[in-house]
A and B are shown apart, each in its own frame.
Chain A
């Protein structure tokens, strides 16, 4: 399976390492032609303003939108922001998912945190339904999940931090920073299946 990792800025190598351990072939995507022959794409954590600006300058916005129409795409943190339709700020977005995301929703770096999340959908890749250790770094939250978007995980106060719509996945946190590969396995299954949910 060929999985692309958008490699404009951020922690794309952490995703790459995780995917390679799971047997995927990983292609770093910096230009439109790198999207050929991919089964799915991950947009990593990083600074969404930097990633957005580079995507505009190197003509990636439209090719990424076209790719997302019939492929699995997963955004973590900055990636989730980039996938959103609306964030209430003026910066380039793909606008693929029907979600409203609020940047830096938990505060600054001193407010960054890790916590255990209950993610029932991970049972599909591992019947042992243990909690998922989630690392939130200056994280966004999913303020509104509209239309066909399904919530996959939330914090005890109800804040939505993981959603899926069709073959698109958005997480506020960073599964690539922990040793737990269940989200990556879940995404690889999404990328493999030709079904839309």
Chain B
């Protein structure tokens, strides 16, 4: 019997298994172990957490393959890793390493200001960031098998993740209530492939799993994003830049499962220690914003 690998169903399938879970940014194998023990459904390997990229500046690139390898050895859960926007060779290297998902991420310094990676060419699935429905459907058109909001990474300020989730989900609601003759003009306005716009209208949701990311720092932030209608959350700096990473990580995992139960949320939000300090997005200069990277 013939075996099919690397098909879109299989790429999307892993993201479906991650739903209702928390994917945590980790820099070292030690971080990865803490994340797994706290109940993360996957970890994201990167060179520096976004808050450090922000603080230190410089060019942010794919992580050292040795560190990624150590992380893969340390945990049994899926390991994702970040490649720069448009840097298809970083993606080839990550695929060769055997990572389970690649995040073509605006958190790293873009390698191409016009073109994203042609993701259909890979067997390994990709997740990409989006600010709105058009951006999400363009990435899916290029082969992304999972989406996430961009939010504003490394700030601990959830406002942009909320803005992006509301934009995507709000446009889907508009699309569903639109008469047929208006759909083509809407696709033009979004700058999105017409067939994917039709599919989204039919499904009443994105054709792939959609997580929230960028600025989530507390269990309440995570539950907020879940109540808005995302399928799960990424937490970056919010865990390892806080006072007690293991405790906060476990609490955020619980918050994503019990997002609709305020009594449980109240219980798990107690005594978590210091949250990450954070930076208010509205006080950041334009040049420091990451979400504008990519198109």
Binding site for B on A (CB under 8 A): 7-14, 30, 45-47, 49-50, 53-54, 57, 77-78, 89, 103-104, 107-117, 131, 135, 137-138, 155-156, 174, 177
Question: Which chain A residues lie closer than 8 Å to B20 at the CB level?
Answer: 7-10, 12, 46
Is B286 an interface residue, CB under 8 A from the partner?
no
B257 contacts A54, C-beta separation under 8 Å: yes
Complex-state Cα separation, A89 to B76, whole angstroms: 10
Least CB distance from A131 to B in Å reads: 8
Partner of B14, one of A7, A53, A137: A137
- Give residues of chain B (1-49) contacting chain A, Cβ–Cβ below 8 Å: 1-7, 9-10, 13-14, 16-21, 36, 38-42
Partner of A47, one of B10, B18, B125: B18
Question: Which chain B residues lie closer than 8 Å to A9 at the CB level?
Answer: 19-21, 41, 256-257
Partner of B1, one of A10, A30, A109, A115: A115
Complex-state Cα separation, A77 to B41, whole angstroms: 14
Binding site for A on B (CB under 8 A): 1-7, 9-10, 13-14, 16-21, 36, 38-42, 72, 76-78, 95, 98-101, 123-125, 250, 253-254, 256-258, 261
A109 contacts B17, C-beta separation under 8 Å: no
Q: A30-B258, A104-B76, A112-B5 are in contact. Are A47 and B14 (CB under 8 A)?
A: no
B123 contacts A49, C-beta separation under 8 Å: no
Question: Which chain A residues lie closer than 8 Å to B77 at the CB level?
Answer: 47, 49-50
> 7 extra interchain contacts, Cβ-Cβ under 8 A, other than A7-B257, A110-B123, A135-B9?
A50-B41, A110-B100, A112-B13, A114-B9, A115-B3, A137-B13, A174-B13
The CB with the most chain A CB atoms within 10 A, among B10, B20, B41, B72, is that of B20
Complex-state Cα separation, A138 to B100, whole angstroms: 9
A114 contacts B3, C-beta separation under 8 Å: yes
* Chain B residue with the shortest CB-CB distance to A89: B76
The CB with the most chain B CB atoms within 10 A, among A9, A77, A108, is that of A9
B19 contacts A115, C-beta separation under 8 Å: no
Partner of B41, one of A46, A57, A114: A46
Least CB distance from B99 to A in Å reads: 8
Complex-state Cα separation, A155 to B98, whole angstroms: 24
The CB with the most chain B CB atoms within 10 A, among A11, A115, A131, A177, is that of A11
* Chain B residue with the shortest CB-CB distance to A116: B1
Complex-state Cα separation, A11 to B9, whole angstroms: 14
A135 contacts B21, C-beta separation under 8 Å: no
Complex-state Cα separation, A174 to B17, whole angstroms: 10
A156 contacts B98, C-beta separation under 8 Å: no
The 5 closest A-B pairs by CB, nearest first: A109-B100, A47-B41, A53-B39, A9-B20, A11-B16
Question: Which chain B residues lie closer than 8 Å to A10 at the CB level?
Answer: 17, 19-21
A-B contact pairs, 5 of them (CB 8 A): A49-B39, A78-B17, A113-B5, A114-B10, A116-B1
Question: Which chain B residues lie closer than 8 Å to A117 at the CB level?
Answer: 1
Question: Which chain A residues lie closer than 8 Å to B18 at the CB level?
Answer: 46-47
Question: Which chain B residues lie closer than 8 Å to A177 at the CB level?
Answer: 9, 13, 16
Q: A8-B257, A89-B76, A114-B4 are in contact. Are A13 and B36 (CB under 8 A)?
A: no
Complex-state Cα separation, A49 to B19, whole angstroms: 14
A47 contacts B17, C-beta separation under 8 Å: yes
Complex-state Cα separation, A68 to B261, whole angstroms: 26
Question: Which chain A residues lie closer than 8 Å to B13 at the CB level?
Answer: 112, 135, 137, 174, 177
Question: Which chain A residues lie closer than 8 Å to B78 at the CB level?
Answer: 47, 108-109, 138
Least CB distance from B197 to A in Å reads: 23
Complex-state Cα separation, A46 to B209, whole angstroms: 13
Complex-state Cα separation, A177 to B14, whole angstroms: 11
Question: Which chain A residues lie closer than 8 Å to B3 at the CB level?
Answer: 113-115
Partner of A45, one of B9, B17, B38, B72: B17
Least CB distance from B265 to A in Å reads: 13
* Chain A residue with the shortest CB-CB distance to B261: A30
Complex-state Cα separation, A126 to B266, whole angstroms: 49
Complex-state Cα separation, A169 to B123, whole angstroms: 31
Least CB distance from A132 to B in Å reads: 11
B98 contacts A14, C-beta separation under 8 Å: no
Complex-state Cα separation, A14 to B20, whole angstroms: 12
Complex-state Cα separation, A3 to B261, whole angstroms: 22
The CB with the most chain B CB atoms within 10 A, among A46, A104, A174, is that of A46
